[in-house]
A and B are shown apart, each in its own frame.
Chain A
Amino acid sequence: MVSLMPTIIAVSELSKIYESRFQALKGINLDIRRGEIFALLGPNGAGKTTLISIICGIVKASTGSVRVAGHDSVADYRAARAMIGLVPQELTTDAFESVWGAVSFSRGLFGKPANPQHIEKVLRDLSLWDKRDSKIMTLSGGMKRRLLIAKALSHEPEILFLDEPTAGVDVNLRRDMWQLVRGLQASGVTIILTTHYIDEAEEMADRIGVISKGEIILVDDKAELMRKLGRKQMILQLQTALEHIPPALAAYQLELSGDGNELIYTFDAQDERNGIVALLKDLNDAAIAFKDLHTTQSSLEDIFVSLVKDEK
């Protein structure tokens, strides 16, 4: 359904060369669809944060443009930025301010009139209501992370950027965040998240973009990406261990486990003629019996590592 949604962010030929002459982005073209969760994956220094920073107005682009719901992010920055909430990677907060004060400040900064009911809802949703009068310096790391999300949601944005939202948080909080993100998506918020945790992208995202060395090397629906690039393996547990793979089976490029008890066959998941039937017949002809079999599919992490390695 998300694939039918209109574009809400259009990044066109975006490049960034810093004063140090380091080129962080090289002609990025990217469309984000309204209502989707888009995960931007990439190794350290790939350009993820630079890309987000340009879209949000923190860093100037060298060339190219960004349009947010049709508004140019430079010429019509007020309309563009008013739609966006940003949760930065670093836990940057004003330590001496209260939780309530900090979140209310953010709402005003983004041009919205005071709305205590909305601030209360956001703080309750993020389990910060009890801490509303506490100074930020007294909060734990996880609470500060939630506070940054509360600040980003204070002005009811239509687009939320989450830059490494679960970096350094415990498992429970991570699960809570995922639930929160799903809830936001259900309410119509478009979410763009960068993450190092592949399982997070796999769990959350509708679409995935991979950025490496300042270039988007792939954008696809998560399911499609898994289908296209995911390799499947069939593992046969043999009744009798083999010392070597018979020459008659060489065409299948089988692997034999160290103890000789398993034969591993790797095949293309999307290929209808994947050779399984023929392999089973040839195994029978070679009098190799097996007592069990199971299949596994590549994880997104395998795909990501493979893509980035290919780039190198």
Chain B
Amino acid sequence: MNWHAMHAIYFFEMARTRRTLLQSVISPVISTSLYFVVFGAAIGSRIDEIEGISYGAFIVPGLIMLSLLTQSVANASFGIYFPKFTGTIYELLSAPVSYLEVAAAYVGAAASKSIILGLIILATAGLFVPLHVAHPFWMLLFLVLTAVTFSLFGFIIGIWADNFEKLQLVPLLIITPLTFLGGSFYSINMLPPVWQTITLFNPVVYLVSGFRWSFYDVADVSVGISLFMTLSFLGVFLVIVAWIFKTGYRLKT
């Protein structure tokens, strides 16, 4: 293993976060705070408790998951797309480093940023609503697994994209709508039966449900299924990344 290379890529990417602190950390925290003000305080005060949990507290896991998914995808996709865009990818391709090491470093950095952000949002949420984490280990496990899985997804998007429009396409048109419709702000049990069934085809439902269970011991679907689905997504993305590395798709001509 080329540990020096992985270290170099990881800290190079983390340094980008420091350079763009406003965009990387402060902006998502402000957005999340606004969600709490609007959904938690303004609208939430008029909504009954959901399964014994105040609405403001109920949406905390969903909000963290929303930021976690969008930021993981954005960080990882931008991390690998930017060298392609500027042309500095030549250095990565000519270095004595395996694709596995490249992916691990980029995905590791993107996931680290998302996890840090998720924890900051969690702390921010604590300023607005009383927080309770029933299963801290599972909460951290879901947090890490989701961050890594969607950072892998972002890495794939970054390799696939050949312009900035494509880079934004998937996060804006797929990730964000799926997260909003995946039970971030409501329990799917509140939906009519038909829509409950349709919603189960939304992969984000399983992520949010599992994560919420780790907080409040309540879930839309079994926690075992949530974990299985999260690991399945991780497996699928790993297979795609392995195929990209084997073929050199969009990396080598």
Contacts and interface: CB of A to CB of B under 8 A. Distances in A.
Given A60-B248, A60-B253, A78-B2, A109 B90 contact: no
A258 interface: no
Interface string B64-78: 000000000000000
Contacts of A104: 8
A178 interface: no
B94 A56 contact: yes
A94 B88 contact: yes
B94 A81 contact: yes
Interface stretch (A40-48, A110-118, A235-243, A260-268): A110-118
A108 B7 contact: yes
A16 to B, nearest CB: 9
A112 B96 contact: no
Contacts of A97: 12, 15
A58 B94 CA distance: 6
Interface stretch (A83-91, A169-177, A303-311): A83-91
A104 B5 CA distance: 11
A105 interface: yes
Interface in A41-90: 56-60, 77-82, 84, 86, 88, 90
A77 to B, nearest CB: 7
Contacts of B9: 109
B190 interface: no
A164 B195 CA distance: 62
Given A90-B87, A94-B88, A109 B253 contact: no
A60 B90 CA distance: 13
Classify chain A: how many residues form its interface, as a range: 35 or more
Contact of B97 (A95, A101, A109): A109
A104 B97 CA distance: 16
B95 interface: yes
A92 B94 contact: no
Interface residues of B, number: 27
A82 to B, nearest CB: 4
A19 interface: yes
B86 A110 contact: no
Given A18-B253, A111-B5, A112-B4, A106 B91 contact: yes
A207 interface: no
A106 B19 CA distance: 19
Interface in B129-163: none
Contact of B93 (A57, A107, A108): A57
Most buried by A among B87, B91, B252: B91
Nearest to A101: B15
Given A58-B90, A60-B248, A78-B96, A105 B19 contact: no
B122 interface: no
13 contacts: A57-B94, A58-B90, A59-B252, A78-B96, A86-B94, A92-B88, A94-B88, A96-B16, A109-B5, A109-B8, A109-B91, A109-B95, A111-B95
Interface of B: 2, 4-5, 7-9, 12, 15-16, 19, 82-83, 86-88, 90-98, 248, 252-253
Interface of A: 18-19, 56-60, 77-82, 84, 86, 88, 90, 92-97, 101, 104-113, 151
